[in-house]
Amino acid sequence: MLRVAMDGSSSAVIFQGQALDGAPSADGRSFFYVTNVQLRRVPLVRDGSEGETIYSVTWYDRFSAAVFNENTTHAVVQVTGPNVSDPIRSVALVPGAAPTRVSNEVWIPPAPRESMWGDYLLTGAGRLNIKTGELLRNQLSGKVRGDFLYGKSPTTGALCRSNMRTLDPLQCFDGAKGVWDFELATRGPYAAFKRGDQTMGRLNTDTGAVDELGVSEGLFFPRISPSGTHVTTYISQTNAVARFVGPTKTTVAYPPMTGFSTVAGDEHRIVFGNVSTSATGTDSVTLASELPAQVLTFPSAVSEVVFTSMPNSGAYLRIIEP
């Protein structure tokens, strides 16, 4: 686990080891994550500590995923192995805490930690009570932001949402019919979507208004800036990043990439592969020696990025900071 300045001027090893899913603590001083066999806390402040183990599984079982709540006080983890009958467990992030079984369900892709509130975890398939294990489902499945679960209507193909906190009826947006894939802005009401005819669009989920931004050349997924207020981005088939500002498109060619994100706090900056760059392709900085498997940005005004790289078939977590 590394901290790296985004201008390339400095870097430091925080912890030498492999990591899977993780999240920063609410105070920003620690990072919680899972390895194959441990749930751990490591300090982000460089105090020389190697961190501490919250919980370890037995040698014949393995952690394979985790999600953390908005205050980073609990984790919901998946445990896999030949002797496991309760794959999803809730663990308080206190050393020595015993995990609690919450579900025998097949693992549901975890939601952002902002969507874990009280006893409930909002997932791509419904609302999970981490104490009772009850999973509340509806006809949507998809992606989560805040209290809402977003997905495609099974009948019209329109982008719809369901408020999983209040259990309101579905709200569907007719202007976003035929959606092939979509992504939600970190903040603000916007979603970027791509129809089957390759049309890129931006949906305001507060008003239902749709802006059609152009036609993409690629087969990859849409991306949207953290606020979503004015820029939609995507990776094209021609190894280029294209940004729509209103109807205007700017395309910048790059080598093949495996991870991609726009940066919270600076929506004109893009992180792809192992490079941080401006949207015009100028001011590019190499961040690491390996290409990442995944790139994530923090949901804050700070230009911080987390990505996992795959050296020697392992998953190594790196923190990149300004």
Confidence of residue 172 (pLDDT cuts 50, 70, 90): very high
pLDDT in tens, 55-84: 998 878 888 778 887 677 888 888 887 766
- Residue 311: helix, strand or coil by DSSP? helix
Q: Output the six-digit token pair for 284.
A: 């590019």
The answer to whether the CB of 306 falls within 8 A of the CB of 284 is no
Q: How far is CA 140 from CA 106, 111, 136, 171, 179, in A?
A: 17, 14, 11, 11, 14
Nearest to 15 by CA among 38, 27, 7, 299: 38
- Residue 89: helix, strand or coil by DSSP? strand
Q: Output the six-digit token pair for 31.
A: 């990072």
The proportion of the chain whose per-residue pLDDT surpasses 90, expressed as a percent, equals: 11
Largest Cα–Cα separation, the chain: 56
pLDDT value of position 160: 95
| Whole-angstrom distance, CA of residue 223 vs CA of residue 236 | 11
| Whole-angstrom distance, CA of residue 254 vs CA of residue 282 | 12
Paired residues of 276 in beta bridges? 271, 285
* Greater pLDDT, 61 or 20: 61
Amino acid of residue 129: N
The answer to whether the CB of 293 falls within 8 A of the CB of 108 is no
Q: Give the DSSP letter string of 240-307.
A: EEEEEETTEEEEEE-S--S-EEEETTEEEEEEETTEEEETTS-S-EE--SS-EEEEEE-SSSS--EEE
- Residue 224: helix, strand or coil by DSSP? strand
Q: Which of 58-62, 86-90, 167-171, 188-192 has the lowest mean pLDDT?
A: 86-90
- 214 contact partners, CB below 8 Å, separation of at least 6: 199, 200, 244, 247, 249
The answer to whether the CB of 69 falls within 8 A of the CB of 77 is no
Nearest to 23 by CA among 47, 39, 6, 38: 39
| Whole-angstrom distance, CA of residue 44 vs CA of residue 33 | 12
Q: Which of 9-13, 46-50, 62-66 has the lowest mean pLDDT?
A: 46-50
pLDDT value of position 313: 47
**Beta pairing class for 285-286 and 135-137:** unpaired
* Greater pLDDT, 201 or 187: 201
| Whole-angstrom distance, CA of residue 245 vs CA of residue 267 | 11
pLDDT in tens, 97-152: 888 887 766 555 555 556 777 778 887 778 888 777 787 888 788 888 878 889 99
pLDDT in tens, 257-300: 666 777 766 777 777 777 888 877 788 888 777 776 667 666 55
Confidence of residue 205 (pLDDT cuts 50, 70, 90): very high
Q: Output the six-digit token pair for 110.
A: 């975890």
pLDDT value of position 232: 74
Q: How far is CA 125 from CA 121, 180, 203, 216, 304, in A?
A: 11, 18, 22, 29, 29
Confidence of residue 206 (pLDDT cuts 50, 70, 90): very high
